[in-house]
Amino acid sequence: MTTLPKTESSTHRKIPSRRDAPQMFDRIARRYDLLNHLLSFGFDFYWRRRAVKNLDKAGVGLVIDLACGTGDLSLAAARTGDCNGLIVGIDMAGGMLKLAGRKISARNLNKQVKLLHANAMALPLQDNCADAVMIAFGIRNMPDTVACLSEICRVLKPSGRAIVLEFSLPENRLIRTLYLPYLRWILPHLGRMISGDRQAYTYLDKTVETYCYGDEFVRLMKDADFANIALTPLTGGIVTIYTGEKRDL
């Protein structure tokens, strides 16, 4: 199961269940993109652009976008010249996939970006089929992180690249002091007001504060048998990009 970070937050904040996450995301699907852009002050565009830049090292033919939500990471990958192959977005939340489909059609990308309703921990894909697998802000919603990472490793070709973009907690004391009140109180309040859902953005805070990050997450990638693992903190450590490669057979 998921390893917790050694922070003051994990000692007193209850770990939320991930079991009903797809249904929760479907409830807020209509306002999801707006809230992403608003609550991140637009940094989410930058974070996704930085994540897909890692595709240039993947020898890209087939890219899997797990927990693709409304499709923003898939669209960011399709816009980069380094990704000319097929992108398959996968999610368990059907309402989010419907919105992703509309955005893909509006950009005339139906031939390059396909969508699939499936479980990221039991992918209906063959072994060694993907050149890259990416997941943005979704792996902390999986009931079992190592199971998801192992499934990513299974479907990757040898030397294929995993790209994980996820929230983390700033190590800098000043940034952390400013960020935590926003994460704990302001963000959930604004999220409830705009989405109309009392649970979703409290869930966001709790999953961010109780989830592993940094060296803890790197160890989970090692447990899933990834090699050449690297991490890149962004925006003062509010998010981190993790990359790793499937070992050669």
Output the 3-class SS for the chain.
CCCCCCCCHHHCCCCCCCCCHHHHHHHCHHHHHHHHHHHCCCHHHHHHHHHHHHHHHCCCCEEEEECCCCCHHHHHHHHCCCCCCEEEEEECCHHHHHHHHHHHHHCCCCCCEEEEECCCCCCCCCCCCEEEEEEECCHHHCCCHHHHHHHHHHHEEEEEEEEEEEECCCCCHHHHHHHHHHHHHHHHHHHHHHHCCCCHHHHHHHHHHHCCCCHHHHHHHHHCCEEEEEEEEEHHHCEEEEEEEECCC
Looking up residue 144, the CATH number of its domain turns out to be 3.40.50.150
Query: What confidence score (pLDDT) does residue 143 get?
Result: 93
Q: Which of 50-54, 150-154, 198-202, 239-243 has the lowest mean pLDDT?
A: 198-202
**58 belongs to a structural domain:** yes
C-alpha–C-alpha distance, residues 100 and 95, integer Å: 9
State residue 82's pLDDT score: 60
* Helix 29-39 with 187-195: angle, nearest 10 deg: 150
Banded pLDDT at 110 (limits 50, 70, 90): very high
Report yes or no: 239 and 165 within 8 Å, Cβ to Cβ.
Answer: yes
- Residue 3 belongs to a domain: no
**pLDDT score recorded for residue 109:** 95
Q: Is residue 141 part of a domain?
A: yes
Containing structural domain, residue 125: 9-246
* The predicted structure's pLDDT at residue 56: 77
pLDDT of res. 183: 96
Q: How many CB atoms lie within 10 A of CB 200?
A: 20
Instruction: Copy the structure tokens of residue 63.
Output: 């890219």
Q: Residue 191's closest CA among 38, 18, 13, 9?
A: 38
Residue 2 lies in a domain: no
Q: What is the mean pLDDT of residues 132-154?
A: 96
Helix 187-195 and helix 200-210: axis angle, to 10°? Answer: 150
**Is residue 145 included in any domain, yes or no?**
yes
- Work out the average pLDDT over 153-173: 97
Is the pLDDT score of 123 beyond 70?
Answer: yes
Query: Does residue 4 lie within any of the structural domains?
Result: no
Distance CA 48, CA 242 (A): 13
What is the total count of domains within the chain?
A: 1
User: Buried b vs exposed e over 87-121: b needs ≥16 C-beta within 10 Å?
Assistant: bbbbbbbebbbebbbebbeeeebeebbebeeeebb
Q: Residue 153 domain-assigned?
A: yes
pLDDT tens string 204-246: 999 999 999 999 999 999 999 999 999 999 999 999 999 999 9
Residue 207 resides in a domain: yes
Please give the model's pTM, rounded to 2 decimal places. 0.92
